[in-house]
Structure 1
Amino acid sequence: MEVVRSLVSDTPGVWRELTTLKQAFVVLKFVTDLTYCTIPPLTFAKSHMSIRTLVYVPLLAVCYVVPDVAIFFALPKSADSTQTLIGVLLIVYSLLFFWWARFHMLSKSALTACFSADEPTFLITTGPWAFVRNPFYSAYLATMLAGFIVTSSSNHPDHDHPYLVSHAGGIAMSAFLVSFAIYYHAIRDEEAKFSASKLRTQHEAYKRRVWCLLPLTDVMRR
């Protein structure tokens, strides 16, 4: 608890050390991660959840929260303006694709959680799905990648929290890799369900046209 109290008491001072761009990054990162830790779980179709869902979703929440603390305290000395700007752009991309996908799904059934035991009944290929097959997972990973980019040069043990600051880049990268492994496993699981459904032919054609996590598709070449 002493460590927590120390982090809380040091927060105002660290905030004042940040440039305006870095403060914007912190606010955007906080809003984005809070959104991803609350809105998707609240809108899941609970009836199809599996044991893996109940294990992995809380783990993913930890992967968002823990790095954010390290990123905040490392940020005053760990990122130049270019790194911070790249981080901001990644978060903007993340929010854009997340909310675009959310609003695009309003006419569809409730969003199912990763590893849910449901059979696909429709295939979305419009909106953000026209650019990337998994816009939600792409958005989630983009904000985590942003966290690593702004802490990749963190190595300043002279800070009040030397371990946290010096290892911020490693913490952010570890969270990204764990999340990527979970999301990739979820994608493989979901695509296997499509392959076993009546939508197999449509889905195979869609896979050949649109990338899995990057917004690269034949639409870009038209």
Structure 2
Amino acid sequence: MHEMLEVLARPDYWPAVWRHVELSALALILGVAIALPVALAVNRSPLATLVAINVGNVGRAVPSLAILALALPLFGFGFTPSLIALVALAIPPILINAATGLTEVDRQIIDAARGMGLSGAQVLTRIRLPIAAPVIFAGIRTSAVQVVASATLATFIGGGGLGDLIVLGLQRNIPAVQLVGALSVAALAILTELLFGGLERAFTPKGIRVARKRGRK
């Protein structure tokens, strides 16, 4: 335990944590900025939605290390290639959930909204997006946790982060450094899960929350 506490006092520990958080946060923000507009763009076409979901599923099937390895010869070595690779990892879960959530809104609700005189944009912003919000945020939460975990591998292409500590511990046979690095990644992933779980509940419309509670009884 004493050795692990000493690792926390190392001059390279907190910069590694910050780099890990910075890399993960930027990747998630860019992933959301890309995936949500695409989901909104294809939501009126069942065929385009199906294609987007299938592309997302293919993206999810590709291992994280493989995407990072592909980024190295294409974009080089360092922070930016790591960020590009993590953005590619962040997009599929968000795209799949956003496209699915928007598609699965009850058609009768949409027809009723249009019957009340709401425009297409109003139906999207006032009806479809609020109803699909829990599914969309579930995708963002999944993506966030996956990005935090995968950012550990960015060390292999010069991205930095907590992966540097894990590799350093392995190379120099310092179990305390390796363990602290791994536990820090796990702690960040758990905190990310809790944070986005809370956001998911906060952005779920009250009516949907009440309906879920009634359904459990």
**TM-score when normalising by structure 1:** 0.35
More helix by share: 2
